[in-house]
Amino acid sequence: MKTEADSNDDVTEHPHDDKLRPYLCTVCDKRFTSNKLLNHDRKTHTGECLYSCAQCDERFSSRSGLSNHMNIHTDKYKCEVCGKRYRTSQHLATHRRSHSGEKPFQCTVCGKRFAEAGKLVRHSRIHSGEKAYKCHVCDKAFSEFGAISRHMRVHTGDIPYKCSFCNKCFSDSSNLQQHKRCVHSNRRPYLCPYCGKLFKIHSKLKLHVRIHTDAKPYSCRHCSGCFRKLNQLKAHLLESHNEGTWFTCDICQQQFITHRKLKLHSVGHHEEGVKQ
């Protein structure tokens, strides 16, 4: 086992990488903002986490880490809306914004607002043009290490996140969580403030609210057309300005705006379907 004196072998600093997370764990490829956090992560791989939770399998390298973790097993930091529990009051406060819609962090360039400071930082890289992480397969570049890690699954076909209810697999953990909420849960924690309708996921509520506010955030670059949904804009660009890709039925050559409409056509009119 490596000693603390050997720690430099486990730390790789890349000048072109994200300056906020220069410390790389060579075991799990996670990045950290300090050597202290990196060393804590290393202990999870070496078995040095001495403090175990009596209610689950989590282990920690410090008493404070275990103490914060124990809060998820109590009602100390419990969301009064959906019942989720958090380790700290700060995590609970951030979560509450998912229900209230509060977004206190605003981009000074485009005005877009965010519920979390970290999301604003990541968004700001769009304006700076900083894309230090490049895919060695297709040369696509990303501004975050996590983004390129997720992107690589497109090439490898890796779908590591498995649903415990139906065994369906996903390439991204957020997609798995959304799948569980939509398919395997009847809980609807997101309330429309205008009509009282409840939704399983926040994005559905956000889209629904536009019906009441008449918000149409997607505008056409060619004309004055504005749309409530992104797919409505894409359909408009394709039909009115010939911008985009039609999906053609291999059997009858009929064309459709989306692949979903092509599949529905195939099921309804051609027994053998179309090529995927």
Q: Which residue has the higher pLDDT, 69 or 10?
A: 69
Residue 142 token pair: 């990303």
Residue 212's pLDDT band, with cuts at 50, 70 and 90, is very high
Q: Given this model, what pLDDT does residue 89 score?
A: 92
| Final residue before a domain boundary, out of 73, 104, 125 | 73
Interval 41-46 mean pLDDT? 66
* 154 belongs to a structural domain: no
Bridging pattern class, strands 190-191 and 198-199: antiparallel
Q: Is residue 240 within 8 Å of residue 232, measured between CB atoms?
A: no
Based on the structure, what is the number of domains in the chain?
2
Domain containing 60: what range?
Answer: 4-73
pLDDT digits (tens, 9 = 90+) for 138-165: 878 887 777 888 888 888 888 888 888 8
The domain boundary residue, chosen from 73, 95, 116: 73
| pLDDT (0 to 100) of residue 258 | 78
Q: CA angle, 150 as apex, 147 and 151 as ends, to 5°?
A: 85
Using one digit for the tens of pLDDT, what is the confidence trace for 89-148?
999 998 888 888 888 888 888 888 888 888 888 788 777 777 777 888 887 888 777 788
With 80 as the cut, is the pLDDT of residue 20 above it? no
pLDDT of 69 higher than 70: yes
Q: What is the mean pLDDT of the chain?
A: 80
pLDDT of 209: 92
Of 56, 73, 90, the residue that ends a domain is: 73
**pLDDT, tens only, 214-270:** 989 889 989 999 999 888 998 899 889 988 888 888 888 888 887 778 888 888 777
Q: Do residues 205 and 199 touch, judged by C-beta distance below 8 A?
A: yes
Exposure on the CB side of residue 38, measured as CA atoms within 13 A: 22
Instruction: Classify residue 62: in a domain, yes or no.
Output: yes
> Cβ atoms within 10 A of the Cβ of 184, count?
11
Q: Is the pTM of this model over 0.75?
A: no
